[in-house]
A and B are shown apart, each in its own frame.
Chain A
Amino acid sequence: MTDLSTFEPRVTAFVCNWCTYTGADLAGTSRLHMASNVRIVRLPCTGRIDHLFIVKAFERGADGVIVSGCHPADCHYTAGNYHARRRFGVFRELLTFMGIDPQRLTFSWVSASEGRKWQDVVNETVDRVRRLGPFDSYHGLAGAATAADDPFAAIEATAASSDAPEHRGAS
């Protein structure tokens, strides 16, 4: 079990290239402070995000997931976000019915100019997931976690033991 006193949530964010990724980039270049617990996976469109991405993230150690893309009517591909909205509306209910707390999931629309909103989304999600605690019940479904199940653990162990500076300056 994860030690609660040192628990840092791992949150995986699946974001669209055109709006949220650019918005997150803006948050970074604007030097907005936000939790560093989020790993971003950039995809062409929210319509490209399969429900299995979320499942796989939970399987591989995520405690929370963010799915974010362009606001309605802003999709670079015209309708990808509308399709995603239907799919995730259903999938969220399915996860809830199967006993996966929907509070571990955040769906949001963040445009390229909404760096501040991205900051809010990240901070709120990380706070919420921190309160919920580690998602051990899902991670442990296949028995005790092994190093192979937990690709982050090796990276974090390396980072903790190396002399690398904690913050690499903006390049």
Chain B
Amino acid sequence: MSDLQDTARRLLDEGTVQVVIGWEASRLGARPVFVTSADDCDKLIFDTRCVHNLATFLNPRRVQVAALGKAAVVVKGCDAKAVAGLLREAQFERDAVVTIGVRCGGVVSEPSGLEPPELTSANVAARCPGCDVREPASVDFLVGEAQPEPPVTTSLNERIGELDALSPAERFAFWTGELSRCTQCYACRQACPLCYCERCIVEKSQPQWIETSPHPRGNFAWHLTRAQHLAGRCVGCGECERACPVGIPLGLINRKLQQVVHELYGYTVTDDPAVPAPIGAYATDDTQDFIK
């Protein structure tokens, strides 16, 4: 019996929560599971295959999940930041959700296999090296053994550095190529724990701000908007990129904006909901080198 399973069983037995949202093993490696009975708690696992950000299911507009009752959710560090983001934006009260944090040593980029794979620099998710929340601090319970550092791989920061070194025209050509594959299926939006608007601006048609025909011009408008709306909010869990059926490197855009808000406003996304997000706040002495 793992700590995780014991904690979940106790919460369900005591009636503190009616559902525990966690991961279970599956033929595809791991998948989200909604455990509503204490007898099923031995399904719960946490290992290197548990890539999904389960905070997505806490969006109060996901009525099927909300109908299951009060939830406990199992969170890695990055997922805990997403829960904090939802709390910061008043999507639910702190005591409406129980969080079970797991100590995390990184996950694979794509889950597979019946046994948890050993992490190597070839299979580790690009966001994991250099992670600053391998032990989430703001959770109700923290379970699991301390994990080793994730292996080093070509980091997002290095790939961003390569792009930054190109000329604007070369970068434009790179992104036009990437975005030309986008079909505007909005899987990136659906997978994102913080893209929770009741009505997304892309669905507004009068006026239509974002062209929904899948040509690169509409795709630019969509991806610029998605990125801008997540600036200073994105927790870098990488679910958008994993959900993308045509493999657009959205993680690069998200990480770039994390760097930008850090450089300009000294802000780092944290799992402390009391720290305000940088967009929506301001300081009278903010940098304005770019303003004439």
22 CB contacts below 8 A, A to B, read A52-B209, A55-B225, A59-B211, A82-B286, A85-B291, A89-B264, A90-B228, A90-B257, A93-B256, A94-B257, A97-B256, A98-B175, A98-B223, A99-B171, A99-B173, A99-B175, A100-B172, A107-B291, A121-B292, A124-B292, A137-B176, A141-B176
Q: Does A101 contact B (CB under 8 A)?
A: yes
Report yes or no: B168 in contact with A94, Cβ–Cβ below 8 A.
Answer: no
For this complex, into which size category does the number of interface residues on chain A fall?
A: 35 or more
Q: Is the interface of A mostly helix, strand, loop or mixed?
A: helix
- CA separation between A88 and B231, bound complex, in Å? 11
Q: Does B63 contact A (CB under 8 A)?
A: no
Query: Known: A51-B225, A94-B257. Is A142-B216 also a contact (CB below 8 A)?
Result: yes
The smallest C-beta distance from B282 to any residue of chain A, in angstroms, reads: 4
Query: Known: A142-B217, A143-B215. Is A85-B288 also a contact (CB below 8 A)?
Result: yes
Q: Does A41 contact B (CB under 8 A)?
A: no
Q: Does B265 contact A (CB under 8 A)?
A: yes
**Chain B neighbourhood of A121, CB < 8 A:** 292
**Chain A neighbourhood of B265, CB < 8 A:** 86, 89
Report yes or no: B287 in contact with A55, Cβ–Cβ below 8 A.
Answer: no
Q: Of A52, A72, A91, A141, which contacts B216 at CB under 8 A?
A: A141
**Chain A neighbourhood of B101, CB < 8 A:** none
- A-B pairs, top 10 by smallest CB distance, nearest first, are A99-B172, A99-B171, A141-B217, A82-B282, A142-B217, A108-B292, A141-B216, A101-B168, A93-B260, A142-B215
Report yes or no: B224 in contact with A98, Cβ–Cβ below 8 A.
Answer: yes
- CA separation between A124 and B292, bound complex, in Å? 11
Q: Does A131 contact B (CB under 8 A)?
A: no
Q: Does B227 contact A (CB under 8 A)?
A: yes
Report yes or no: A109 in contact with B291, Cβ–Cβ below 8 A.
Answer: yes
- CA separation between A18 and B213, bound complex, in Å? 37
Q: Does A96 contact B (CB under 8 A)?
A: yes
Report yes or no: B216 in contact with A99, Cβ–Cβ below 8 A.
Answer: no
- CA separation between A99 and B170, bound complex, in Å? 7
**Chain A neighbourhood of B224, CB < 8 A:** 51, 55, 94-95, 98
Q: Does B106 contact A (CB under 8 A)?
A: no
**Chain A neighbourhood of B279, CB < 8 A:** 86-87, 90
Q: Which residue of chain B has its CB nearest to the CB of A79?
A: B282
The smallest C-beta distance from A64 to any residue of chain B, in angstroms, reads: 13
Q: Which residue of chain B has its CB nearest to the CB of A106?
A: B292
Q: Is the interface of B mostly helix, strand, loop or mixed?
A: helix
Interface size on B, residues (CB 8 A): 50
The smallest C-beta distance from B189 to any residue of chain A, in angstroms, reads: 16
**Chain A neighbourhood of B211, CB < 8 A:** 59, 142
The interface of chain B, by Cβ under 8 A from chain A, is: 160, 163-164, 168-176, 201, 209-211, 213, 215-218, 220-221, 223-225, 227-228, 231-232, 253, 256-257, 260-261, 264-265, 278-284, 286-288, 290-292
- CA separation between A96 and B271, bound complex, in Å? 29
- CA separation between A83 and B279, bound complex, in Å? 7
The smallest C-beta distance from B172 to any residue of chain A, in angstroms, reads: 3
Q: Which residue of chain B has its CB nearest to the CB of A109?
A: B291
Q: Does A92 contact B (CB under 8 A)?
A: yes
Report yes or no: B225 in contact with A52, Cβ–Cβ below 8 A.
Answer: yes
Report yes or no: B169 in contact with A137, Cβ–Cβ below 8 A.
Answer: yes
- CA separation between A99 and B282, bound complex, in Å? 27
**Chain B neighbourhood of A109, CB < 8 A:** 291-292
**Chain A neighbourhood of B160, CB < 8 A:** 97
